[in-house]
Structure formats: C-alpha cells, structure tokens
Amino acid sequence: MTGNRTGDEAKGGDGFGNRSETRAEATAARIVGAARGLFLAKSYAEVTTDLIARAADVTKGGLYHHFPSKESLYLSMMLEELDRKRLLFEKAVAMAGDSRERLARLTRDFLDLPTDERELMRLVRRDINIFDGVERDQLVRAYQRALPEQVEAILRDGIRDGELSVADPRLLSWSFVALVEIVIGDYAHRALGDTGARLDHVLELFFGGAAARRVGAAV
Amino acid sequence: MTGNRTGDEAKGGDGFGNRSETRAEATAARIVGAARGLFLAKSYAEVTTDLIARAADVTKGGLYHHFPSKESLYLSMMLEELDRKRLLFEKAVAMAGDSRERLARLTRDFLDLPTDERELMRLVRRDINIFDGVERDQLVRAYQRALPEQVEAILRDGIRDGELSVADPRLLSWSFVALVEIVIGDYAHRALGDTGARLDHVLELFFGGAAARRVGAAV
DNA sequence: CTACCGACCGACTGACCGGTCGGTCACAGT
DNA sequence: ACTGTGACCGACCGGTCAGTCGGTCGGTAG
C-alpha cells in the first residue's frame, strides 16, 4: 500500500546504453543502506530480514531477489564500508612526514569520522564470531587492510628510520588501534575534551608511555 | 536413557543437618559448568538451553528447575567467575612495592591464568550487548570491579607517588587492560614468546612508550 | 499491439528455541 | 508401610525468523 515505487528515479535523464541497470542497483543500494543503519542500532540476531526490507521500502521477496542470504547482505555492506575506510587511511600512509605526524593524521581522520562510520568499524569485532570459514576470513582481512595494516605500514617506517624502538610492528599497530579505541566513547570525551586533546593523549601515551618524565636527578 | 542419576553422589558421607542440600547444589553447579564451557565455545545465541542441559546430563526441565531463564543462568555463571577474579587481582593491589611491580604481579597473574578463565573475561565484552537494564549494569560493574578498577587503584597510587605522569587513572587503566589483551592470542605468542617476554613487552610499552630512546644528543 | 523479462510482491513453510507443565520417582520423616 | 516433598523429566506450546515460490506489474523489443 504505502510502498509503491512506480516510476520515480527509474531511468531518469541519461540515456546511455551500457548504463541502464540503475533501477535494480538503486534498490540494492537502498537495502544495503537500511541494513547499515539497523545493524548499527541492533545486534545481528535482532535485525530481521523483514525489518531491513521494510526500512528499505521493499518486501522480503525483493530483498532476496538482490541478496542470496542475510549473511551475504551483511557482508556486502561491511566489505564495501571497510574498503572505503581503507582508501581514506591510505592517504595518511602516503603522506610526507615522520611516523608520528603520519600517525597523527590517520588518527585524526579516524576520530573526525561521523559516529556511525566509526561505530561500523567496531561492528566487525562485535559480529566476527557469527561467521565461519571463507566469509569470516574475508571480513577479518578487509578489516585488517582497512586499519591495522595502514598503521603497521607507518610504524614499520618509523622503526626503520629509528624513530621507534625496534619491536614487532604488527603487535604495535594492534596496540595503537586499541589505545585509540579507548579514547572514543563518552567517558574519554568528558575526561579529555575535544578531538585534539584526545589525539594528543593517544599519541603521547603511545610514543612516550605513562611513566613520569624525570625532571631532576636520575634514579 | 543414558542419563540416570540415581544414587551416585547423593548425600555421600557427611551427615550434617544444616548441610543437606548437596544434591541440588551439585546439579546446579554441573549446569553452570556445562554452560561455562559451551558459552566459551559458541556464541550466546548458538548455545541452546537444550544443549546446556544435555551437556550437564540433565533435561531442559531440570535446568529450568534451577534457573528461571537462560539469561539468569549466564549471569550466575559470569558473576561467579568475575568475583573469583576480583579476589585474585586484589592480591596484587594489596601487595607492597611501587606501581610497576604491583602491576607486573597483576598482569602475570592474569597471563598465567588457564586459557578458558582468561577467555571468560573476554566474553563479557562479547556478550554485553545482549543484556539490558539492571542485568547489564550488574555485568559491567562486576567486570570493572574484577579487573579495570584493580588496575586503576594501582595507577592512582603511581600517580600520587610521582611514578606516573598525571593523567586520568580510569582511562589509563582501560588503556593498560587493552594493551594486555593484545598480548594474549596466538600471534603475540609466536612473536614474543613465553609469558615473561609478553609481560615485559606490555610493561615496557605502557610505561616507556614506543618511541626510540634517545641515546646521544637531545633534540 | 503482443510477447517477454526482470524487478518485486507477500503469503507461506519448515525449523528452531525459550520456556511451561503435568507427571514420575527416590527418599526422609513418621 | 505411608505419605509428603522436591528434584527432575520430556512432550509440548507459542512465537520467531530465514528463506521460498507462484504470481503481478511495468517497461521494452520486435
């Protein structure tokens, strides 16, 4: 009743021959968008295919016309999202400057992200357990390519150039990402303040540690 | 058929009057134990009450005789476990020594834990989203009392005594716990080696940071 | 105008799962 | 021996949900 989609954006103005699939693509994109919002708000199990379909103004039949399963819909949504993030963070890696400056740029890019995009990266960790085998690997690798491997590339340069002490760069990158995750969230916002302060906190802690600087005499 | 529990451990030898509930308690404990193992191996949704009952050699009716719901069973299991951990970590807090020594003791206690007990503490983070309201608060507070608040107490002393730079102790404690969690898991085991090496890595990173120590001239 | 095709519909199915409930049985007190 | 009690049984229920399938409709080619 409410959901008629006759005409509307179908076809439109550009009359290309090889670009005629716009209608189905638009629906698929609408479904992915609805799924994105719902998976952010509720757990995977709580988000039903009916719910997604209704939010996308399609029926369940329509949804299953575009996606073979709920899992593959989730995967499509997440892989797409993670690949966009990879592209974003690669800019910081490609930047000129020492490792601390590049890491600051990457972290700032991350902290400046809209809340929902940041939260989506946490969804991977939340939902990773519901996938098996190939699909799980896909998800893990897409996440690692998006964030930890970008951090790792910068840290590797830092170690090579003597800016960082010699250590396993992968472990360091995971550690750094973990520290950044601490600093998002309400409590850190109240305790530290705006993005700049949180960025400084993370960098200071990661590079300099938590020990008090010795001002006067040595031990 | 297979599950007859006639006689067996019922009553046993101790013929006390006020200590006669052993039978039901033993069954409840068996159920909690079975639930513990299953929740470790599978996600909350995947673990059915049937499965738990069968693993505990009871029927679903028996299970519901002891626990009013699946959630409350999970909660019983987890709160019990977390309280045991709090008791363990409180020993390190009560210990004499500077903050680094006490933190090392706490971390070593954590790393030396059997795998399943360590993983149970990660379950809290995994499953926290499936609870609401009071039960969620119970779970969160039990976890925080078990680990982060113990770390925070040590860090607070360290700041007071000038061993640590002035910062928000709660954020620092979360950061420390996050760093420790990096160091459990297969990759860290391969990259770093035994418990001692992993302990050193965490402490060194947390107290001293990742930056290379300046050996020669200052900046 | 007609035949066709793919997008989409929505009622339905089969399986599963948390929780219930009437019943059974071993045992303790008498 | 008799009876009450509570631990435990297991078939069953109500509800949910992923996935299916026969069908409709609008546009497009011929």
The three-state (H, E, C) secondary structure of chain A, written as one string: CCCCCCCCCCCCCCCCCCCCCHHHHHHHHHHHHHHHHHHHHCCCCCCCHHHHHHHCCCCHHHHHHHCCCHHHHHHHHHHHHHHHHHHHHHHHHHCCCCHHHHHHHHHHHHHCCCHHHHHHHHHHHHHHHHCCHHHHHHHHHHHHHHCHHHHHHHHHHHHHCCCECCCCHHHHHHHHHHHHHHHCCHHHHHHHCCHHHHHHHHHHHHHHCCECCCCCCCC
Going from the N-terminus, what domains does chain A have, and what CATH number goes with each?
10-67 (1.10.10), 69-208 (1.10.357.10)
Alpha-carbon distance A44 to A125, whole Å?
12
**Hey, what are B88's tokens?**
């363990």
pLDDT, residue A195, reads: 95
**Contact assessment for residue A81 and residue A120, using Cβ atoms and an 8 Å cutoff:** yes
A106 or B219, which is more confident? A106
Model confidence at B111: pLDDT above 70:
yes
**Residues 133-192 in B contacting A (C-alpha not used; CB under 8 Å):** 155, 162-165, 167-168, 170-172, 174-176, 178-179, 181-183, 187-188, 191-192
Q: What angle do CA B68, B37, B111 make, to 5 degrees?
A: 120
**Contact assessment for residue A115 and residue A71, using Cβ atoms and an 8 Å cutoff:** no
B108 touches A: beta carbon within 8 Å: no
State the pLDDT confidence band at B215, using cuts at 50, 70 and 90.
low
pLDDT in tens, B40-66: 998 898 899 999 999 999 999 999 999
**Residue B164 burial (CB count, 10 A):** 24
Alpha-carbon distance B74 to B31, whole Å?
10
pLDDT in tens, B115-141: 999 999 999 988 888 888 899 999 999
Minimal C-alpha gap between B209 and chain A (Å): 4
Q: Which nucleotides of C are covered by protein (CB under 7 A)?
A: 6-12, 16-22, 25-28
DSSP state of B8: T
**Could you give the dihedral angle defined by the CA atoms of residues B141, A118, A70 and A126, in that order, rounded to the nearest 10 degrees?**
-30
Chain A residue numbers with beta carbons less than 8 Å from the beta carbon of B206 are: 209-210
**Residue B142 burial (CB count, 10 A):** 19
Q: What would the mean pLDDT of B20-43 be, rounded to a whole number?
A: 86
DSSP state of B132: -
**Are A162 and B212 an interchain contact pair (Cβ–Cβ within 8 Å)?**
yes
pLDDT in tens, B3-22: 333 333 333 333 333 444 57
State the nucleotide closest to B26 in CA–C1' terms. Answer: D7
Q: Which amino acid is at B94?
A: A
Q: Which nucleotides of D are covered by protein (CB under 7 A)?
A: 6-12, 16-23, 25-28
pLDDT, residue A34, reads: 93
State the nucleotide closest to A50 in CA–C1' terms. Answer: D17
pLDDT, residue B133, reads: 87
Chain B residue numbers with beta carbons less than 8 Å from the beta carbon of A211 are: 163-165, 207-208
What region, left, alpha or beta, does residue A156 occupy, with left being phi > 0 and alpha being psi -120 to 50 degrees? Answer: alpha
pLDDT, residue B192, reads: 94
pLDDT in tens, B154-196: 999 999 999 999 999 999 999 999 999 999 989 999 999 999 9
pLDDT, residue B214, reads: 65
Alpha-carbon distance A93 to A83, whole Å?
15
**Residues 19-48 in A contacting B (C-alpha not used; CB under 8 Å):** 43, 45
Q: Is the CB of residue A49 inside 7 Å of nucleic acid strand D?
A: yes
- Per-residue pLDDT 10s for chain A (219 aa) are 333 333 333 333 333 334 445 777 889 999 999 999 999 998 898 999 999 999 999 999 999 999 999 999 999 999 999 999 999 999 999 999 999 999 999 999 999 999 999 999 999 988 888 888 899 999 999 999 999 999 999 999 999 999 999 999 999 999 999 999 999 989 999 999 999 999 999 999 999 999 887 665 444
